[in-house]
Amino acid sequence: MISPPMKTHLLPARTISPVSNGCAAAAIPSSPSMAARPRRIPSGLQSVTGRGKFSLAAVTLDDYLPMRSTEVKNRTSTDDITSLRLITAAKTPYLPDGRFDLEAYDSLINMQIEGGAEGVIVGGTTGEGHLMSWDEHIMLIGHTVNCFGTRIKVIGNTGSNSTREAVHATEQGFAVGMHAALHINPYYGKTSIEGMISHFEAVLPMGPTIIYNVPSRTAQDIPPEVIMAISGYPNMAGVKECVGHERVKHYTDKGIAIWSGNDDECHDSRWKYGATGVISVASNLVPGLMHSLMYKGENATLNEKLLPLMKWLFCQPNPIALNTALAQLGVSRPVFRLPYVPLPLEKRIEFVRIVEAIGRDNFVGQKEARILDDDEFVLISRY
């Protein structure tokens, strides 16, 4: 995804204080190790002399990004985010021409709220943010805030493998009112440990932030040393962790908020390893049952009942199965933005059986689950 043009400058490292919640007042670093760490300024120049007789303009700390505001009435504290148990990684539905189906989207978000979800990730992997332009992406975040921001926390996926894009998108996301940002480590063109720390430091001053570790997608783990290096920032809400229970416990023992990123592990992560909750794909389909799994104590019976659905959802790369399921339930149109295509017939038949086993009343929507014929699906390559 390409963000609008933005001027950037190469700077030497400088030491500054982090900013709490993106507002004007600077915060005091909460740990000596953080205070000693050099901070990177993403744009602007120190006063230097050019090759000619004219000096380059001096730029003060007040000129560098992020853009700050003294308006705080709609700001969310980091504590407001760390208290969330069930966050849904929301699906983005489409019209037959490939544009967003906002009517279906609004209905899905309402069903999440009614089912007990306390937060939604907008434009994440499940929501296909990587298939959106940045204009679409920020619009959907703003739309979600505008329609539902008083009833559910809106967490915008404004991460990127380009720090410049991550900074710019995060500024825009907070400007349109999102309550928190989700940030992944730079993928594909991976960086060093120090590079990861610097990448996250560039976005943390803007507002509450969840770091997302999913090595199966990025091909690079975010090791504990990175999380510990940034854990003292006031806006560091916690980590969506997909590595497993041992890593979850490592962080929770140190007081860091963790959301399981794996539906099939979230019950044990929550009740046996101290996770705060889950950022869930399955809750798109069964928000009420996922709420129970996170709030009503250990329930091995319910967990076992949901495991076939959770495993089915990841039989192919997410969000292929979820998109297929929501179409089968009549909650979204059977429209796919390529390169995603629906699951094959035998998997669609399996989903109908899973719905029958768990109970149709536990799923979103009102229509009966259908198998759907192959020719009912629409695949879009231009939109």
From first CA to last CA, the distance across the chain in angstroms is 14
What is the rounded CA–CA span in Å between residue 9 and residue 140? 30
Highest CATH level, class, for 78-296: alpha beta
C-alpha 275/C-alpha 266 separation (Å) is 8
**What residue spans define the domains of the chain?**
78-296
Distance of CA 91 to the CA centre of its chain: 12
pLDDT score, position 131: 98
Q: Spell out the per-residue pLDDT of the chain, length 383, in tens.
A: 444 444 333 333 333 333 333 333 333 334 434 444 444 444 443 333 343 444 444 444 454 455 555 554 457 899 999 999 999 999 999 999 999 999 999 999 999 999 999 999 999 999 999 999 999 999 999 999 999 999 999 999 999 999 999 999 999 999 999 999 999 999 999 999 999 999 999 999 999 999 999 999 999 999 999 999 999 999 999 999 999 999 999 999 999 999 999 999 999 999 999 999 999 999 999 999 999 999 999 999 999 999 999 999 999 999 999 999 999 999 999 999 999 999 999 999 999 999 999 999 999 999 999 999 999 999 999 99
Q: What is the per-residue pLDDT for 66?
A: 53
| Tokens describing residue 151 | 């009833």
- The pairs formed by 22-28 with CB atoms below 8 angstroms and a separation of 24 or more are 22/66, 22/68, 22/69, 22/75, 22/174, 22/205, 22/206, 22/207, 22/235, 23/68, 23/69, 23/70, 23/72, 23/75, 24/68, 24/69, 24/70, 27/234
pLDDT value at position 59? 44
Contact 157, 182 (CB under 8 A): yes
Tokens of 190: 């991976």
**Pair 192, 221: CB distance under 8 Å:** no
Which residue among 212, 233, 251, 273 is the active-site one?
Answer: 212
The residue from 64, 94, 105, 240 that is catalytic is 240
Q: What is the pLDDT of residue 306?
A: 98
Residues across the chain: 383
Give yes or no for a contact between 259 and 278, defined as CB atoms under 8 angstroms apart.
yes
Is 272 catalytic? The answer is: no
DSSP 48-60: -B-SSSSBPPP--
Could you tell me the sign of the dihedral formed by the alpha carbons of 188, 194, 195, 200, in that order?
positive
Token pair 């929507």 is at which residue?
365
Question: What is residue 350's predicted lDDT score, i.e. its pLDDT?
Answer: 98
pLDDT of residue 71: 53
Q: What is the pTM of this model?
A: 0.83
Rounded to an integer, what distance in angstroms lies between the CA atom of residue 344 and that of residue 342?
Answer: 6
